[in-house]
């Protein structure tokens, strides 16, 4: 059995995609008899140590000292693990690789978001510094010393290859979904769930799940919903999630838009909920206008529930959706195109597309498949 230390950049509520995926994978590994614990960067808002559903969590809560503290915690618990599984390619990954080489541990780096291997500079000064300073080359050289790098999407694999990673060191292991929880339901169950959740029985339910941030395309979604005519009458947009702790938080933007454009009867925000599967199974259409992703858990879960999915035409989403076959892909910033797809969905939904979406996830992205590949890699 494998003994695994997972390292994350965050493990505090509200959980994002990487944290939720890590939690699900850890639980599945533990159910098979493997030993898993998590070391994660913290803000001080959560305890330094706690146990969640039998999963031990150690947080690096000292501000500005996460790298030093990680090395110490890895040293302190070095007899408890043989494998370090890092989620992300930031400073903690660098520390984990150095520790693993010094103390003869295996280390695998999971790239969770496209564009994060080497982030593109967002100013001329940063671009100049990137050219004249050796940090980029040093980071790549260190990451390439890992025992393997996990690509969760084709876009990330191409990014790794472009930055000089050997093909044999890249492992294609996508995010997975527990299809025993996320699956299609019959019309009777859907109606029952709507009654339970307080959603209208006789309207087309559009749903979004994820962070309420600009990166997730919330501005595009709100602009689209404002522009629709029939969808606002025949349907309702339900938004789950929050922007808490995010620099591009758009919660206030949404509330202001709802008041300004009189959307109170057709758009509701419910914040973070524990029963996401219930809302997905109660809905008809999933909308996902994100600007950048790895392999989005939200989209995987919606497809697994057999929803008609309309998503942005970006890497990661393209791995999951073949437009017109198991959903639709729309240009990220094209509000007119988004409006057209949503108006069409408000009128009719092609059941064949919904069935194809559920089949895609069931056959290729079930959590069991992901865990099988990880176990093989760790061993």
Domains and CATH numbers, the chain: 3-173 (3.40.50.2000), 187-364 (3.40.50.2000)
pTM for this model (two decimals): 0.94
Tokens representing 64 are 């500005």
Rounded distance between C-alpha atoms, residue 346 and residue 283, angstroms: 12
- Residue 330: is the preceding peptide bond cis (ω within 30°)? no
Rounded distance between C-alpha atoms, residue 210 and residue 191, angstroms: 24
- Residue that is written with structure tokens 């671009």 in the block: 127
Rounded distance between C-alpha atoms, residue 23 and residue 291, angstroms: 25
Tokens representing 46 are 């959560």
Per-residue confidence at 125, pLDDT binned at 50, 70, 90? Answer: low
Per-residue confidence at 137, pLDDT binned at 50, 70, 90? Answer: confident
| H/E run at residue 148 | strand 148-151
Q: What is the pLDDT of residue 329?
A: 98
- Across the range 103-114, mean pLDDT stands at 97
Rounded distance between C-alpha atoms, residue 277 and residue 294, angstroms: 21
**What is the per-residue pLDDT across 52-97, written as a single tens digit (0 to 9) for each?**
999 999 999 999 999 999 999 999 999 999 999 999 999 999 999 9
Beta-bridge partner residues of 329: 311
Confidence check: pLDDT of 130 > 80 = no
What is the arrangement of strands in the sheet containing 106-111, beginning at the earlier edge strand? 49-52, 55-60, 35-41, 3-8, 83-87, 106-111, 148-151, 170-172
Confidence check: pLDDT of 121 > 90 = no
Q: What is the pLDDT of residue 133?
A: 53
**What is the per-residue pLDDT across 152-204, written as a single tens digit (0 to 9) for each?**
999 999 999 999 999 999 999 999 999 999 999 999 999 999 999 999 999 99
Q: What is the pLDDT of residue 14?
A: 87
Q: What is the pLDDT of residue 313?
A: 98
Nearest to 213 by CA among 244, 237, 259: 244
**Mean of pLDDT over the chain:** 95
Confidence check: pLDDT of 249 > 90 = yes
Residue 80 DSSP code: G
Per-residue confidence at 219, pLDDT binned at 50, 70, 90? Answer: very high
Q: What is the pLDDT of residue 134?
A: 53
């Amino acid at each position: 059995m494998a003994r695994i230390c997972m390292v994350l950049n965050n493990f505090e509520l509200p959980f994002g995609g990487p944290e939720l995926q890590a939690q699900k994978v850890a639980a599945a590994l533990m159910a098979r008899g493997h030993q898993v614990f998590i070391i994660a960067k913290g803000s001080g808002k959560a305890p330094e140590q706690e146990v969640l559903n039998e999963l031990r969590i150690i947080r690096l809560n000292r501000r500005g000292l996460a790298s030093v503290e990680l090395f110490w915690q890895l040293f302190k618990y070095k007899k408890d693990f043989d494998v370090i599984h890092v989620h992300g390619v930031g400073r903690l990954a660098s520390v984990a690789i150095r520790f693993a080489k010094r103390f003869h541990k295996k280390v695998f780096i999971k790239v969770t978001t496209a564009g994060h291997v080497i982030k593109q500079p967002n100013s001329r000064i940063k671009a100049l510094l990137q050219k004249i300073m050796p940090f980029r080359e040093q980071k790549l050289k260190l990451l390439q010393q890992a025992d393997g790098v996990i690509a969760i999407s084709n876009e990330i694999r191409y990014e790794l290859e472009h930055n000089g990673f050997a093909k044999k060191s890249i492992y294609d292991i996508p995010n997975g979904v527990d299809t025993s929880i996320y699956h299609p339901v019959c019309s009777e169950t859907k109606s029952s769930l709507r009654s339970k959740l307080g959603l209208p029985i006789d309207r087309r339910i559009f749903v979004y799940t994820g962070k309420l941030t600009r990166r997730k395309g919330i501005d595009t979604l709100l602009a689209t919903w404002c522009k629709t005519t029939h969808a606002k009458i025949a349907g309702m947009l339900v938004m789950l999630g929050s922007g808490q702790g995010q620099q591009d938080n758009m919660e206030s933007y949404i509330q202001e838009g709802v008041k300004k454009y009189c959307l109170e009867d057709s758009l509701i925000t419910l914040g973070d909920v524990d029963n996401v599967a219930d809302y997905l199974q109660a809905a008809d259409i999933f909308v996902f206008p994100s600007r950048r992703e790895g392999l989005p858990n939200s989209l995987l879960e919606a497809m697994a529930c057999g929803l008609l999915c309309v998503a942005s035409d970006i890497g990661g989403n393209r791995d999951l959706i073949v437009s017109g076959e198991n959903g639709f892909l729309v240009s990220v910033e094209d509000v007119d195109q988004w409006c057209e797809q949503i108006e069409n969905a408000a009128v009719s939904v092609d059941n064949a597309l919904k069935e194809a979406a559920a089949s895609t996830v069931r056959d290729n992205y079930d959590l069991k498949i992901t865990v099988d590949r990880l176990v093989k890699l760790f061993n």
